Structure 1
Amino acid sequence: MHSSTHTKSQRDIIAGGIFLAIAATFGFISLGYEMGTPLRMGPGFIPLTLAIILAILGVVIIVSGIRKNETVETSPVSWTGSALVVASLVIFGVFARQLGLVPIVFLCTALTAFASRNNTLLSALTIAAAMSILCYLIFKIGLGITLPTFGPLFAL
């Protein structure tokens, strides 16, 4: 059942607020770790940098939502999609070390891709493969993170 309302973009304002809350949480937690320098990053550097970027994005989205005056079509919440996103976060946190970078990114990206009704099996697997390759290149080759490429579950 869809309804239509004429209002400021409450979705943008709420989304921006959620981004700010997540950014504040991760930013605060990252302050407990060594920062290092841009050339010799410590364990807190990337989380703090991402938290700052997320906070800036949150502020931009809130300001955009305040400035908008639009008609919004509302639809029911996709509980299946929400559950898939939450499940992928939990799986990443629990199994990242056991599976390794490439398999965990592939699995979690595929799950979150299925959260959208617009993705097919082929498109979800393609997105997952592309993200796995991209994360390998950025985090293993570029930044040299210590998470294994393939974890102990894949050892023979």
Structure 2
Amino acid sequence: MAIKSQADFFSGVMFMVIGGVFAIGSTNYTIGDGARMGPGYFPLMLGILLALLGAAIVFRSLVVETPDGGRIARWAWKPLGFVLGANLLFGVLLGGLPSIGLPAMGMIIAIFALTIVASMAGSQFRLRDSVLLAVVLAVGSYVAFILLLKLQIQVWPTFISG
């Protein structure tokens, strides 16, 4: 059987692999059942659903004809680098890096850095729009995680909050 859409085929394979890894990894935890779910129940179900979705996409890529054969385009290195870098920067700023003496900068600064760096991945970057989005995300995160859920997350750097 010939592959009629390369992009769909490899996307489906990726979903099946990730779903399978999640499903297998969840077996290290207590699964439970529908009435008494254990910590491994949700990752198991999510992994199975993801793998089934991947199988459906692979099947579709083998059956449904696409106009250009669904050729895989060249890698978009700039957006990939900015998005991965933004997430790495968020983690470093949120938790700090004690091995090099970088203290935790807190949730607000980490959200601003994440939003601004990730915005640079697009073809049109406007600092004003990125800062406005960062303000909305920071306020929303503060309300959701600190006020409503009462999570113990460092909001500001130690040198500001004491």
What TM-score, normalized by structure 1, do the two folds share? 0.60
Counterpart of 1:40 in structure 2 is none
Amino acid paired to 2:88: V
> How much is the aligned-residue C-alpha RMSD, in angstroms?
3.7
Structure index of larger Rg: 2
Counterpart of 1:12 in structure 2 is 11
SS class of match (1:146): coil
Rounded to whole Å, the distance in 1 between the matches of 2:45 and 2:140 is 19
Could you list the runs of 5+ residues in structure 2 that have no partner in the other structure? 30-38, 96-103
Instruction: From the superposition, tell whether residues 25 and 132 of structure 1 become closer, same or farther in structure 2 (CA, over 3 Å).
Output: farther
Q: Following TM superposition, by how much is the alpha carbon of 1:121 offset from its aligned partner in structure 2, in angstroms? A: 3.1
Percentage of matched positions with identical amino acids: 14
CA contact (8 A) 1:15 1:61 kept: no
Counterpart of 1:127 in structure 2 is 133
CA contact (8 A) 2:27 2:44 kept: no
User: As a proportion of its length, which structure holds more strand?
Assistant: 1
Correspondences of 1:1-156 after superposition (within 5 Å):
6-7=4-5, 9-17=8-16, 20=19, 23=22, 55=47, 58-59=50-51, 61-63=53-55, 65-66=57-58, 67-68=60-61, 69=64, 70=66, 71=68, 72=70, 74-97=72-95, 98-155=104-161
Rounded to whole Å, the distance in 2 between the matches of 1:113 and 1:57 is 31
SS class of match (1:99): coil
Instruction: From the superposition, tell whether residues 25 and 59 of structure 1 become closer, same or farther in structure 2 (CA, over 3 Å).
Output: closer
CA contact (8 A) 2:93 2:109 kept: no
Moved more, 8-17 or 81-90: 8-17
Q: Following TM superposition, by how much is the alpha carbon of 1:15 offset from its aligned partner in structure 2, in angstroms? A: 4.9
The structure showing larger relative contact order (alpha-carbon pairs under 8 Å, at least 6 residues apart) is: 1
User: In the comparison of the two structures, how many residue pairs are matched?
Assistant: 135
Could you list the runs of 5+ residues in structure 1 that have no partner in the other structure? 32-44
Rounded to whole Å, the distance in 2 between the matches of 1:18 and 1:109 is 30
